[in-house]
Structure 1
Amino acid sequence: MHVLVVEDDAEVSQFIQKGLTSEGIGVSAAYDGVIGRSMINEHQYDVVVLDVNMPGMNGYDLCRFVKQNWPAIPVIMLTALGSLENKVMGFESGADDYLAKPFAFKELVFRLKALARRHPARAPLPQRLELLDLVVDTSSHQVWRADERVTLTAREYALLEYLLLRQGKVVSRAELLENVWDVHFNTNTNVVDVYVNYLRRKIDRVEPKLIHTIFGVGFILKAEP
């Protein structure tokens, strides 16, 4: 799961980002509505968390923008404006949920996961994913590296596809367990590391290496060392 938090209060935003990361949830942040709109245009998110009072574009307008263009993306309004009138405005703008500040962080996580489960991935996959000379055909699940066909198991392919869709971003082990293995609880299994090594043997037999370990955090698929 990858969440976009659009919140102009840096302290609140950093608190949410730190907490979500510790839960193994991917998170990106924007500090005003205009930047948030630009990021939504460029990336696919599983849930969007919006503050209401923000410079550039307020949360209600940004929520309307999201729902007009990607109606299946769930939106949580997260704001100090907790009156019934404000909640009605939030829901009328298209919000799927509304959480007033101050809030219990565990409740935010619960609501995020519940919304993500009810709203599976919306956008169809691009037919072709690429990074340098690594090419993946998502319709046939065929993979090439340096113009040579690479044979992967179903799980290896799912792992590679997930990393490619998030290329350039660090992906935690917990996020991979949740999205590739459908494991939604803490576990001491090393299955992620085992399969990353399987992938490395097949994908990174040539230079440059594409799969990198970020120690203590997770993995990243990128062209640079």
Structure 2
Amino acid sequence: MKVLILEDEEAIRGFVRINLGRNGIEVIEAETGEEALEKLEQEAVDIAILDVMLPTISGFEVCERIRKLYPDMGIIMLTAKTQDTDKVTGLQLGADDYVVKPFSPTELVARVQALQRRLNSSHPAKNELESGPFSISLDERKLYKNREEIDVTPTEFAIMKLFMENANKSVSRDEILDTVWGKHYIGDLKIVDVNIRRIRQKIEADPSRPKYIETVWGYGYLWKGHPN
């Protein structure tokens, strides 16, 4: 696995490099957003760890650019703030996860490894899933609606796969969290709702009145491939 760490504080970059390196993970360092984007053009990276507060291009802007240029790359945001708005902003721009500073090396390594497992999840024997106008290519890891590709992040793809495997069945938030983020995920449960909101914006004609992803209040969500 190869990971890019974008952080303007040299001590934190070194801390991350040492602890990821101890777990067999190759680390590329960048001090600015410009440097990170330049290195991504030269290196094949699996996961980018992005600090939010940077002197020029913010981590949010780098996240948005990465998601457009490298849709299959995993993204973890680093933030010194605990406000929900920072977490939500990163997720809405395409991040897969976030870690709040100060963080323990064990937590960061666990988050990186969990995201890598999601990115490299094994494909089942059947190579396609279909539900109403939607289809998923498990080999290509792509989502289609009426045969038109919809750009989704690896996390959004994993959620859609879970939904389409459980069409017309209520799926709890906890089940989504355990399946997509892993049973040992220690972040905020709201990460599920943020990603569902983002998926609705991509697949629903009117996200405020969703036809396909129905909210089951107090429980989770129901995927309706053939809405009435």
What TM-score does the superposition give when structure 1 sets the normalisation length?
Answer: 0.52
Amino acid in structure 2 at the alignment position of 1:18: I
**Shift in Å, 1:72:** 1.2
Partner of 1:90: 90
Tell whether the 8 Å contact from 2:46 to 2:74 is kept in structure 1 after alignment.
yes
**Shift in Å, 1:32:** 0.7
Structure 1: runs of 5 or more not aligned: 122-225
**Shift in Å, 1:76:** 0.2
Q: Deviation per CA, 1:43-70, whole angstroms, max 9, x where unpaired?
A: 1111100000112311000000000011
Q: Deviation per CA, 1:2-57, whole angstroms, max 9, x where unpaired?
A: 11000001111111111111221111100011100111122111110000011231
**Shift in Å, 1:82:** 2.1
Partner of 1:71: 71
Partner of 1:44: 44
1:106 maps to 2:97 = no
- The 1-side partners of 2:25 and 2:43 are apart by 16
Amino acid in structure 2 at the alignment position of 1:34: E
How well do the aligned residues superpose, as a CA RMSD in angstroms? 1.3
Partner of 2:62: 62
Amino acid in structure 2 at the alignment position of 1:113: Q
Q: Give the ranges of 4+ consecutive aligned residues of structure 1 lying more than 3 Å apart after TM superposition.
A: none
- The 2-side partners of 1:56 and 1:43 are apart by 22
Amino acid in structure 2 at the alignment position of 1:62: V
Q: Deviation per CA, 1:64-91, whole angstroms, max 9, x where unpaired?
A: 0000011110100011022101111111
Identical-residue share of aligned pairs (%): 36
Structure 2: runs of 5 or more not aligned: 122-228
Tell whether the 8 Å contact from 2:80 to 2:102 is kept in structure 1 after alignment.
yes
Please state whether the residue corresponding to 2:108 is helix, strand or coil: helix
Partner of 1:34: 34
1:20 maps to 2:46 = no
Amino acid in structure 2 at the alignment position of 1:108: L
- The 2-side partners of 1:53 and 1:25 are apart by 24
Please state whether the residue corresponding to 2:87 is helix, strand or coil: helix
Amino acid in structure 2 at the alignment position of 1:24: G
Tell whether the 8 Å contact from 2:5 to 2:50 is kept in structure 1 after alignment.
yes
Partner of 2:11: 11
Amino acid in structure 2 at the alignment position of 1:2: K
Amino acid in structure 2 at the alignment position of 1:119: L
Amino acid in structure 2 at the alignment position of 1:106: T
- The 1-side partners of 2:7 and 2:73 are apart by 18
Tell whether the 8 Å contact from 2:79 to 2:86 is kept in structure 1 after alignment.
no
What TM-score does the superposition give when structure 2 sets the normalisation length?
Answer: 0.51
